[in-house]
Amino acid sequence: MVEPRVASTAAVRSGGEPGRGPAALAGFFRRFGSRSWIAVGVIAAAVAAGLAPTPASWVEHAYSRQWYLAWQNLVTPVSSLVGFSLLDPAAVIGVLGIGGGWWWGLRRAGATWRERTAAAARLTLHTAAVSAALYLVFLAMWGLNYRREPLTAKLDYDASRISSASLAALAGESVDRLNALHAPAHGAGPWPAFEDLPERLAPAFDRVQRRLGAIRPAAAGRPKATLLTAYFRRAGINGMLNPFSLEVLVNGTVLPFERPFLVAHEWSHLAGYANESEASFVGVLICLAGDAQSRYSAWLYLSSQLVRHLPPDVRERVWAGLADGPRADLRAIAARLREAVPVVRRSASRVYDRYLRANRVEAGIASYGLVVDLLLGTDGTPVWRELAAPIDAPGDVRPLP
């Protein structure tokens, strides 16, 4: 008598014949494809890198002060040898590559709806994997600087120095500095072109970094024009750092007296100060350690940042002391900024705000304004006395007290 076949426990649980469960699973893995599993792994690694806790002290001492600066001193001098932005061809190739990959992938898919849906799902997964891989490269090349120790932990910073009175006093000081520096700055000859600034500002850049504790200062980068200039102008963007080739991109339409501070701000990013308020603070120190034109550029930026936080009556009183020369320069800057297209500017601000928050900058785009806290919290300290003191030259004003 033939005994009846009894399905195995595994088969009963899987609802199929004996041995079909493992075979079905193996078939699923084969159909999914090894490349898709690699893509899943890359995405998982990017998610883990984005969410994993990273001690700020480790990032500061192992990455920002060691590995990153060693890498930056290799990459930036090489990328500066090229007269054009490396981001421009890379962006074009990337867009064409992804677009072409989608077109070819859908073209090769079968004619049925199911086959096309499966192809679209694979392409979506692979596109996400490319984005994840770029994020991992971004973190390694520069992005981990967002997680370093804040400057407030390394400077003689005291939040109790921040008050309405100290804000009004420094705002008034900025007006006095603009009035005193306008003639020396405008009378020193033509304002430097972007390509002249590395030679003019590099010594101050090196000095400020060393004073802030850098053993190996970052290399100054060549400011470069970009195909994004038209977008920058409409979005109200003055410049950016390309984190992949560690090069500085600038909006060529900024006014001549804006150039020194713009370059100093972007160089601060090159030095590993990813936070916008810290980059502005270090950029101010770089300019104040430079010549009269650089210092004037810094005070133009500072005066607007300081005065905008004052009550209306105090603001009016402070601005009343501004001479006609610097007043005309500030009006020219305001007129340039009005050329931005509001909808483009708002869209760019939203995107950048999300980018900053994704990189653990809780204040988002509002972090730009936090430079005022850094300025007031360190006012009168050795950072100011040793770095913000102008170099002795005819027409210079006295150092900050």
Q: Tokens at residue 339, please? A: 């050329």
- Residue-wise pLDDT for 265-310, tens only, equals 999 999 999 999 999 999 999 999 999 999 999 999 999 989 888 8
Q: Using CA atoms, how far apart are residues 78 and 72, in angstroms rounded to an integer? A: 10
Which of the residue ranges 11-15, 190-194, 207-211 has the most confident prediction, judged by mean pLDDT? 190-194
- Which residue matches tokens 């209306």? 312
Identify whether the C-beta of residue 391 lies closer than 8 Å to the C-beta of residue 291.
yes
- Residue-wise pLDDT for 253-270, tens only, equals 999 999 999 999 999 999
- Residue-range domain boundaries for the chain: 26-147, 151-387
Q: Tokens at residue 106, please? A: 């859908």
Question: Smallest Cα–Cα separation from 331: which of 322, 340, 341?
Answer: 322
Host H or E run for residue 239 = strand 239-242
Q: Using CA atoms, how far apart are residues 40 and 36, in angstroms rounded to an integer? A: 6
Give CA angle at 32 (29, 38), nearest 5°.
90
- Residue-wise pLDDT for 125-145, tens only, equals 889 999 999 999 999 999 999
**DSSP state string for 296-351:** HHHHHHHHHHHHTTS-HHHHHHHHHT--HHHHHHHHHHHHHHTTS-HHHHHHHHHH
Q: What is the pLDDT of residue 392?
A: 45
For residue 369, pLDDT over 60 is answered with: yes
DSSP structural state of residue 177: H
